[in-house]
Amino acid sequence: MIGYVVWRLLGAVALLVVVSALVFAIFNVLPAADPATLRAGKSATPEQVEAIRESLGLDDPLLVRFGRYMAGVFTPFEGGPLNLGTSIFQNNEPVLAIVADRLPATAFLVAGAVVLWIGIAVPVGVASALRRRSALDRATMITTLAFVSAPVFWLGLVALYLFADDVGLISVFPGVGAYDEADGLLAKAWTLVLPWTVLALGTAAIYARYIRAEMIGAMEEDYVRTARAKGVPERRVVLNHALRSAITPVVTLLGLDLGLLLAGNAILTESVFNVPGIGREVVTAIDRSDYELIQGIVLFGAFFIVIANLIVDVVYAYLDPRVRF
């Protein structure tokens, strides 16, 4: 197992270099805004723009710039091995410092949403599978279809206009920007109830349908019939035998979805609810065409996805005794 983990970590480093090259190419080879002109601002002269371009090395050959960027990524920062580059629009602030400032909010948002969606999807999926074609099954599947179809930004706005305590029809939950104003873990958690719910609902719906299908298959397996024949109580048959089997591929799915979540819905949710996380920072960076910051955050995201998948693989081995590395 340790050898496998080391091997995967080495692969992750190679992958991150490839990701860096791709992201660098997107902003430096394909048509994109000119950072020197943007940095110069309004009314700048061509001489000023050129001076900025030259002083920041933006007129150097592509490979030189990429090499410098990679060197910048691995510049030590506050005792650590890398700083992920620096933001020229934020007074040379290391990207890692910016990410570190924003990470807690994103981690809290994503972790809460994952707990919520698993907490919703598993019982709903299992209940639907055990009562196939019942009214409950049909109702839950139609509801999940509705949530799967709803874009998260739309769902977020609807939730705000219905339940936010400042602009909602029914004042229940804290609204936009409440996270930054709250003090303490519990208070911050309270401000995330709506974002968690919005972020979790769509994915929970997908997972519920997936678990239902897996459970239906598992309940028809021979080992379930055998367990029942041996007189094992139905509750244990479902939870210990069928569900354990059905949930294994779901864990794999979770690893992939964490990445998708960070790259998509978490950004949208953070924007709608003004949660000061990495997603919002990406939006700000794109707005400023702060490429080095965007590249650094993408690199961090890729690293996170690789690690998340590694953890999933380890958990997979734990859940399924047949899997060995």
Partner 1 sequence: MRSMASRRLVCGALLASALALGACGGDDDGSAPSAGDTGIPEEFAAPTAPPDDVRAGGELTVLATGDVDFMDPGAAWYQFTYMVTTAAHRTLLAWRPGSTKAPSPDLASGEPEVSDDGLEVTFEIREGVRFSPPVDREVTAADVEYAIERGLLPGVANGYIPTYLADVTGLEEAAEEAADDPTGGAPDVPGITATDDRTLVIELDRPTAATVIQALSLPISAPVPEDYAARHDAENPSTYGNHVAFTGPYMVEADEDGELAGYTPGREIRMVRNPNWDREASGDFRPAHLDSIRIAEGFDDTGSASRRILEGSAQVNGDFSPPPTVIRDAASGGAEGQMVASPSGGNRYIALNTQEPPFDDVDVRRAVLAASNRTALRNTRGGELIGPVANHFIPPGIPGFEAAGGVDGAGLDFLADPEGDIEVAASYMRAAGYESGRCEDDCEVTVIGESASPASETTEVFVDGLESLGFEVQSRDVARDVLYTRFCNVPEQMPHVCPSVGWLKDFNDGLSILQPTFDGGAINDAANANWPLLDVREINEAIAAAELVEDPDERAERWGEIDTMITERAPAVPYVWDNQVNLRSADVAGVINLFNANWDLAFTSLSG
* Site mask for partner 1 (CB under 8 A), range 158-177, x = bound: --xx--x-xx-------xxx
42 makes contact with partner 1 (CB under 8 A):
yes
Residue with Cβ nearer partner 1 (37 or 143) = 37
- Is the Cβ–Cβ distance between 1 and 325 less than 8 Å? yes
Smallest distance from the beta carbon of 318 to partner 1, in angstroms?
39
Smallest distance from the beta carbon of 24 to partner 1, in angstroms?
18
What 8-state DSSP symbol labels residue 241? I
60 makes contact with partner 1 (CB under 8 A):
no
75 makes contact with partner 1 (CB under 8 A):
no
What length does the chain have?
325
- Is the Cβ–Cβ distance between 274 and 176 less than 8 Å? yes
Residue with Cβ nearer partner 1 (45 or 235) = 45
Residue with Cβ nearer partner 1 (140 or 284) = 284
CA gap 87, 73 in Å, rounded: 11
- Is the Cβ–Cβ distance between 175 and 167 less than 8 Å? yes
The pair of three-digit structure tokens given for residue 319, joined into one six-digit string: 């859940």
Smallest distance from the beta carbon of 88 to partner 1, in angstroms?
6
How many other C-beta atoms are found inside a 10 Å radius of the C-beta of residue 216? Answer: 16
Amino acid, res. 32:
A
How many other C-beta atoms are found inside a 10 Å radius of the C-beta of residue 38? Answer: 17
CA gap 207, 219 in Å, rounded: 18
Residue with Cβ nearer partner 1 (3 or 31) = 31
44 makes contact with partner 1 (CB under 8 A):
yes
Give, as ranges, the residues between 3 and 32 that touch partner 1 (CB under 8 A): 31-32
Smallest distance from the beta carbon of 113 to partner 1, in angstroms?
19
Number of residues that bind partner 1 (CB under 8 A): 53
Measured in whole angstroms, the distance separating CA 248 from the mean position of its chain's CA atoms is: 20
Smallest distance from the beta carbon of 85 to partner 1, in angstroms?
14
Residue 254 burial by Cβ neighbours in a 10 Å radius (0-12, 13-18, 19+): buried
Smallest distance from the beta carbon of 287 to partner 1, in angstroms?
6
Exactly one of 6, 54, 123, 187 binds partner 1 (CB under 8 A); which one? 54
How many other C-beta atoms are found inside a 10 Å radius of the C-beta of residue 6? Answer: 10
The pair of three-digit structure tokens given for residue 277, joined into one six-digit string: 């996380």
88 makes contact with partner 1 (CB under 8 A):
yes
Q: What are the residues binding partner 1 (CB under 8 A)?
A: 31-34, 37-52, 54-56, 88-93, 98, 101, 157, 160-161, 164, 166-167, 175-177, 180-181, 271-272, 274, 276, 280-281, 283-284, 287-289
